[in-house]
Amino acid sequence: MKKYSVFAIAREAMRGHKGWEEQWSSPEPKKEYDVIIVGAGGHGLATAYYLATVHGITNVAVLEKGWLGGGNTGRNTTIIRSNYLYDESAGIYDHALKLWDGLSQELNYNVMYSARGVMMLAHNVHDVQVLKRHVHANRLNGIDNEWLSPEQAKEFCPPLNTSKDARYPVVGAALQRRGGTARHDAVAWGYARGASARGVHIIQNCEVTGVKRAANGAVMGVDTTRGFIGAKKVGVVAAGHSSVIMNMAGVRMPLESYPLQALVSEPVKPVVPCVVMSNTVHAYISQSDKGELVIGAGTDQYVSYSQTGGLHILQHTLDAICEMFPIFTRMKMLRSWGGIVDVTPDRSPILAKTPVPGLYVNCGWGTGGFKATPGSGHVFAHTIAKDDPHPINAPFTIERFRTGRLIDEAAAAAVAH
């Protein structure tokens, strides 16, 4: 792997940019690997990267039915934060946030992580109570979060409407300054490049159609559209399709898959300096470095794999945006899209061993998995390499739905579901 640097740019400028190499190779699949990762999104590629760099396991294939980073990795709204209520969530999301800081240097790839601050608005007394509880819980866990008055919120984000006459006036806000955004495509590409350089095979257009198990129940490998590929360890990181793959191995999951939509406006000059979220009017907004306003909200209400959703969801979202930012009432929207998110009953992810020996699963990130990408890959690689969870992901088992030891962010995640 040739290092990217200012000298590399200068060198290539001198010779007509003929020396740039492919960022990752596209080899033919081998008959057998030590580990197969199903799904070449951010979480799957990060898992492969940390298997190679931290655990020295490089005989790894990442299988992708479409193209790399073409699922939810390329469809999310790129928001990064770690201000979750419970200790277990704080542990895993802040582990990720610490890895975001320095990820560009680690990967030698600019993921454009921008700690521009995530501000969550309170519009009524209940919001104030909930968000202040989050501020205190976060600070006890060593996570930065601070309470702002409406005036301070306005100062932090000038286009915000803090008028007392608003239908849902802003009465305060919680601000996590280390929160922000990153470029989602670059995250997938950077991890793919790093993993490929260390010998990981990234195999696109290769859909898993079955999971083969031996007589003793252990995993033997996977059937794919490009033939059988053997492996003693298989990690499923298939987002909205995780339950489909797990069913192939005979494991029924506590998951339901819903469409989650997002949209962007035409590009404009810098106007929103941070991420703003509101549960009560229910929408969130940030501005990409290209200038587009990036907007999202809640899922559609029904199980679907169609990667589309109802227009009324977007209308509701834009109603909320116009309520918070009347300045945008005449902004034109450029495009909208949907992704399929796998949601658990307690809205916390599952990163764990499964009842099937050699089968591991990293799923259930629901509507907010992008922010966790580096941390999720890091601890999932540990889980696969050691056949034992990392202390950080140890609570995120499948069995918690039998024991009742839930991590109930459904009521506490600081976003409405």
Partner 1 sequence: MLLIRCPYCQEERPELEFRNAGEAHIARSANMAGETDDDFEKFFFIRSNPKGIIYERWRHMHGCARFFNAVRDTVTDKFVMTYKAGEPKPSKLPGVAK
- Please name the helix (run of DSSP H) or strand (run of DSSP E) that holds residue 87, with its range, or none: helix 87-100
Residues 121-150 as x/- pattern, contact with partner 1 by CB under 8 A:
------------------------------
Detail the DSSP E strand segments found in 100-255: 118-122, 146-148, 172-176, 180-181, 201-203, 208-213, 219-224, 227-236
Contact (Cβ atoms closer than 8 angstroms) between residue 118 and residue 277: yes
Max CA distance (Å), the chain: 69
- Helix H or strand E encompassing 191: helix 184-197
What is the per-residue binding string for partner 1 in 337-356, x denoting contact by CB under 8 A? Answer: -----x--x-----------
Is-contact 42 188, C-beta < 8 A? yes
298 or 375: whose CB is closer to partner 1?
A: 298
Query: How far apart, in whole angstroms, are the C-alpha atoms of residue 119 and residue 49?
Result: 32
Tokens 């793919």, residue? 192
User: Contact between 304 and partner 1 (CB under 8 A)?
Assistant: yes
Work out which of 302, 319, 329, 334 binds partner 1, going by CB under 8 A: 302
Smallest separation (angstroms) from partner 1 to the CB of 263: 16
Identity of the residue, 241 or 371, whose beta carbon is nearer to partner 1 in the bound complex: 241
Which candidate, 19, 33, 2, 410, places its Cα nearest to that of 235? 33
Query: Please, which of residues 221-280 interact with partner 1 by CB under 8 A?
Result: 241, 243-244, 252-257
H or E stretch including 53? helix 42-53
Helix (H, G, I), strand (E, B) or coil at 300: coil
Is residue 156 near partner 1 by the rule CB under 8 A?
no
Query: For partner 1, how many residues bind (rule: CB under 8 A)?
Result: 25
Shortest Cβ distance from residue 345 to partner 1 (Å)?
5
Interaction between residue 67 and partner 1 (CB under 8 A)? no
Q: Strand, coil or helix: what is 33?
A: strand
Least distance CB 325 / partner 1 (angstroms): 25
- From candidates 301, 334, 355, 387, binder to partner 1 by CB under 8 A: 301
Tell the smallest beta-carbon distance from residue 137 to partner 1 (Å). 26
DSSP H or E stretch at residue 351: strand 350-353
Q: Find the binding residues for partner 1 in span 201-220 (CB under 8 A).
A: none
Nearer to partner 1, 20 or 302 (CB): 302
Q: Which is nearer to partner 1, 64 or 94 (CB)?
A: 64
Q: How many helices (H) and strands (E) does the chain have?
A: 11, 18
Does residue 305 interact with partner 1 by CB under 8 A? yes
Amino acid letter for position 288: S
Tokens found for residue 122: 């309170």
| DSSP tag of 18 | -
Count of Cβ atoms closer than 10 Å to residue 150 Cβ: 18
Q: Residues 9, 140, 311, 411: which binds partner 1 (CB under 8 A)?
A: 311
Stretch near partner 1 under the rule CB under 8 A, chosen from 149-157, 194-202, 263-271, 296-304: 296-304
Contact stretch for partner 1 (CB under 8 A) within 57-65, 70-78, 396-404, 409-417: 396-404
One DSSP character per residue, 151-180 reads HHHHHHSTTS---TTSSS---EEEEETT-E
Minimum CB–partner distance for residue 359 and partner 1 (Å): 17
Nearest to 229 by CA among 268, 254, 252, 201: 201
In whole angstroms, the minimum distance from the beta carbon of 252 to partner 1 comes to: 5
Q: Per CB under 8 A, does 411 bind partner 1? A: no
Please identify, using beta-carbon distances, which residue of 166 and 406 lies nearer to partner 1.
Answer: 406
Residue from 310, 322, 333, 357 binding partner 1 (CB under 8 A): 310
Tokens at residue 109, please?
Answer: 């790839």
Instruction: Calculate the CA 190 to chain-centre distance.
Output: 15
Comparing CB distances to partner 1, the nearer of 162 and 261 is 261
Instruction: Pick the closest to residue 195 from 290, 395, 57, 101 (CA basis).
Output: 57
Region near partner 1 per CB under 8 A, out of 12-20, 113-121, 200-208, 307-315: 307-315
Options 31, 312, 330, 332; binder of partner 1; rule CB under 8 A = 312
Token pair recorded at residue 340: 């399929």
**Taking contact as CB under 8 A, which single stretch among the options 52-60, 104-112, 270-278, 399-407 is the one that binds partner 1?**
399-407
If the CB atoms of residues 18 and 402 are measured against partner 1, the closer one turns out to be: 402
Interacting residue ranges for partner 1, rule: CB under 8 A: 241, 243-244, 252-257, 301-306, 308, 310-312, 342, 345, 401-404
